[in-house]
Amino acid sequence: MKINPDYNSQEKLLELYNKPLLELIFEAAKVHRQYHNPREVQMSSLLSIKTGGCPEDCGYCPQAARYQTDVEAHKLMSVDTVLEQAKNAKANGSSRLCMGAAWREVRDNKDFDSVVEMVQAVNDLDMEVCCTLGMLNENQAQRLKNAGLFAYNHNLDSSREFYGDVISTREYEDRLNTIDNARKAGITVCSGGIIGMGEAIEDRVGLLWSYMQMENPPESIPINALVAVEGTPLEDQKPIEQWEMIRMVATTRIAFPESVVRLSAGRTKMSMEAQAMCFLAGAGSIFAGDKLLTTPNPDFNEDKEMFSILGLISKEAFAGGEKPVSLPDPLIEERKKRELEREVELKNAREEAFKNGFEPRKITVS
């Protein structure tokens, strides 16, 4: 993904962010039109496949076990439930499904096998499949890629300098490694941040600067406004001004002309007019459906009405790349083979026992 060589320092990016607002929006709109169809906005749905009980301490997150929030912890969803939800999202116009798990990192266990099956099943629906599962090693990234994963979401959240004020249980460097592992496996990268956590404008620009320093910046950059949830350390943060979201979207658009800028969490607090400004300034996607992972979001009908008023059309899947091929997973195949062999062994042993005169004990219930 290309970066804009005119803004190749933090100072220049800061100047851009602080430009007179209408000039900033105008410049962003010009860049957007040069690289993207400005009428197309992707509707992407989120699904929390494993909710709450997370051991991390991310200060914004209602799913961290250590904070007293209203989020109820749930174990991993079944593959069938995920498939049902994916079909519903597709029927409502979403061309991408992002599955989120409240994990610190992926573990090589049966739950991960199920996630691999979910990726295969949703890719078979011709939807772009994205996952956000925490830290990932190279091997795990490769398994997801083989299953047909289109994108991996792992946010840097803020600048390197501010990051430690919000999260202490995992380093900025760990996040960069995970992004690198997804990249090495050939998965597209979705990575962005949150504004409104008490950071300075320099930290917003610092987030973008971290992506500018990457050899290959993210194909997709979500910009979230903090959803301040009761019980989290950031519960009392004042909501950001809508202009700040517009500035952040516009600056990201100009700095990364080819990437998709995603207008993400925080839309319930935005007017349609402010969202329209974000689309004009280069937002190419929204999260659709009445729930993000655990917090509310405008429902499908509200967004359909907004699209109709603004003359927007929903973007098809794989417009920016080819549909990945889902290959059989060798570990799952091996496990299924072993399970089948064990079943046959048991059946044979039973038949052999009957042949040798074995009679099952009769149980009489008095």
- Annotated active-site positions, please? 54, 58, 61, 98, 130, 190, 262
| Residue 61 binds ligand SF4 (CB under 6 A) | yes
> Does 194 engage in binding with ligand SAM (CB under 6 A)?
yes
- Residues 154-213 interacting with ligand DTB (rule: CB under 6 A): 155, 192
For 26, counting Cβ atoms within 10 Å of its Cβ (0-12 exposed, 13-18 middle, 19+ buried), the class is middle
Q: Of 60 and 211, which CB lies nearer to ligand SAM in the complex structure?
A: 60
> Taking contact as CB under 6 A, which single stretch among the options 219-227, 246-254, 274-282, 316-324 is the one that binds ligand DTB?
219-227
Which residue in 31, 122, 288, 293 binds ligand DTB (CB under 6 A)? 293
Q: Nearer to ligand SAM by C-beta: 205 or 293?
A: 293
**∠ CA 263-30-279, rounded to 5°:** 20
* 103 touches ligand SAM (CB under 6 A): yes
Which run of H or of E encompasses 50? strand 40-50
Q: Residues 6 or more apart from 130 whose CB is under 8 A from it?
A: 44, 96, 97, 98, 99, 149, 150, 151, 152, 153, 190
42 - beta bridge partners?
285
Residue 160 structure tokens: 């390197």
Question: Smaller CB distance to ligand SAM: residue 134 or 217?
Answer: 134
Q: Taking contact as CB under 6 A, which single stretch among the options 13-21, 59-67, 75-83, 108-116 is the one that binds ligand SF4?
A: 59-67
- In single-letter form, the type of residue at position 321 comes to G
Residue choice 93, 134, 222, 324 for contact with ligand SF4 (CB under 6 A): 134
CB of 167 to ligand SF4, least distance (A): 7
Q: Strand, helix or coil at 326? A: coil
Half-sphere exposure of 290 (CA within 13 A, CB side): 4
* Burial (CB count <10 Å: 0-12, 13-18, 19+), residue 45: buried
Q: How many residues bind ligand SF4 (CB under 6 A)?
A: 9
63 binds ligand SF4 per the rule CB under 6 A: yes
Q: Is 100 in the site for ligand DTB (CB under 6 A)?
A: yes
- When the beta carbons of 61 and 89 are compared against ligand SAM, the nearer one is 61
Q: Is 264 in the site for ligand SF4 (CB under 6 A)?
A: no
Give the C-alpha separation, 54 to 58, whole Å: 10
Nearest distance in Å: CB 160, ligand SF4? 17
How far is residue 280's CA from residue 273's CA, in Å, rounded to a whole number? 10
Distant-in-sequence, close-in-space partners of 276: CB < 8 Å, separation ≥ 6:
310
Q: Give the residues lining the site for ligand DTB (CB under 6 A).
A: 46, 62, 98, 100, 132, 153, 155, 192, 222, 224, 227, 264-265, 292-295
Q: Give the residues lining the site for ligand SF4 (CB under 6 A).
A: 54, 56, 58, 61, 63-64, 102, 104, 134
